[in-house]
Structure 1
Amino acid sequence: MRFAGIVMLLIFAVALALAVGARSISPRIFLEALTHYDQTDPAHVTVAAIRIPRLFAGLIAGAALGVAGTVMQAITRNPLADPGILGVNSGAAFALLLGTTLLGRSDQAMVALLTFPGAAIASIIVFALGGGLRGDVGPVRLTLAGAALNALLLSLVTALVLVRQDSLEVFRFWVAGSLTQATTRPLMEMAMVASVGGLAALAIAPQIEALSLGSALSRGLGTRPGRVQAGALAVVTLTTGSAVAVAGPIAFLGLMVPPLARLIVGHWLRMELIVSAILGATILLFADVLGRVVMAPSEVRAGIMTALLGGPVFLWVARRLRPGAQS
């Protein structure tokens, strides 16, 4: 029943994302735009050229960040971890900001080419600093390494904006995630990449769960902690990179979704991943719709809305933590 409920909630969020905005779109007009598209009708153009791409961007980014956050919290055994705390978000955004500023391009191909190397390099650095090269990576060490890298990358972003004033306009978009530029993003390609990351997460979920028993016991069960953690970081790279490529760095979504998923399905990682993908997409779509109407006719970016929604969730999770407890 709970699973059916969140699916229905996602369907409702999809309907709102298609109907609500500066121009209200009725179900009849939406169906006409799909079945008898008229490029001279402004309502049809709004549906086909703006609402549908924006909807798909929200579904891709929300589901990807939900999966990334769940994997990150499982691998670090830290309920306050998300892709941002390991610097993966910042790595992808910094690489894109640097590349687009220096090369003067921000088209679909450039976004795809820059985002994933940035996320991958950040993941590798965190893995190495966390002790992965010695096969002795721990959740606390990994989290601290990610926090340090995240602070460094944010400092580099600030320095780049100060040195190159022409990067400020690009920075304005990438400092807070948004779905408004969905029509210029490689949606189909990023959907495939995010799907590969999600399937890989489902495949290694039992091995990640085995790590929660401790390194010694998990090795006794045939699990190789270093390889599993490297695989988890690869999953986070794929999912976070695809999300950043279509929506920019969406704050707090990877943090707030996993605890909600655990409330629904308990500690069963594969089901957590599925529910987190649904909840991530649902929350991001609701945040985007709320951002359209809260200060209409102006818009508040989806990344700002998720930060506002995620703040109370962060406090709630932090208050439930006990000294020495692990998720």
Structure 2
Amino acid sequence: MTRQERTAWTFTAPVLAIIAFVLILPTLLALALSVTDYSVYALADWANLRFIGLGNFTTLLTTPLFWRALGNTALFSVVGVPMAIGASLLAALLLNDATVRWKPLWRVALFAPYVTSVVATATVWQFLLNTRYGLLNYGLSLVGIGPVDWLGDPRASIPAILIFVTWKIFGYNMIVFTAALSAVPQDLMEAARLDGASRLGRFRHVTLPAIGPTLLLAAVMSVAGFLQLFAEPYVMTQGGPAQSTVTVLYFMFDEGFKWWNLGQASAVALILFVLILAVTLVQARIGRRYEWL
């Protein structure tokens, strides 16, 4: 090794060690536990630990709540990702307009929810969505609409959480899109305008291709975030009503830390990892198709 290579490894070795300890080692341990019946009994005595192969996975395939959690997670992702990205892109486009005043103030205000504690904001939203004294139901009463049990009705709980999550996370993508929009070549925009392209046409043929890589990045991050949705339903609905907001990560948490079926919880974690990896690879393939990678 050359002197430069030794110096590089010297500086990167601590970081690589931390990554290995925090990320790689727990992943390997979860993989090992997923093929065992590791539970609270094994915690008390390692002699109770047994190798069961794919037993945890076959049990999950016959567990209705797991499929319910998987369906809820898919619904949150399919509906929530377009909502979050659409809201972020719309806000970025509005803030990119030269006629908008107080842009820094708007950016800070819209980005603030993202850096605020999930537990704190979810608790505030619980009060806003309260059936009897919530601000949202008060607004509906002013237009003659009766109170809605946002967190107690299975038909309303998922939209309520989707709206909250979109409001909570869209500020990050908004900042990313704002930076991408500032890098769009203005000479192309001006040429398109002189050729008679409408505002929608300029967005479709100039802006959208230019921010394509950023759009792909936002999609990958948003999908991974929605597939790992946990804190919001945990704080706001505890998985209810009628298990309508139980997600895969929520199911994994219950299996591991409520029922102490740590082997089965590790199997759920492995399934979720494979699911996120598969979706990310599909998104990467789409990005290469449209020359965004």
Is the TM value for this pair above 0.5? no
Scaled by the length of structure 1, the TM-score of the pair is 0.27
Scaled by the length of structure 2, the TM-score of the pair is 0.29
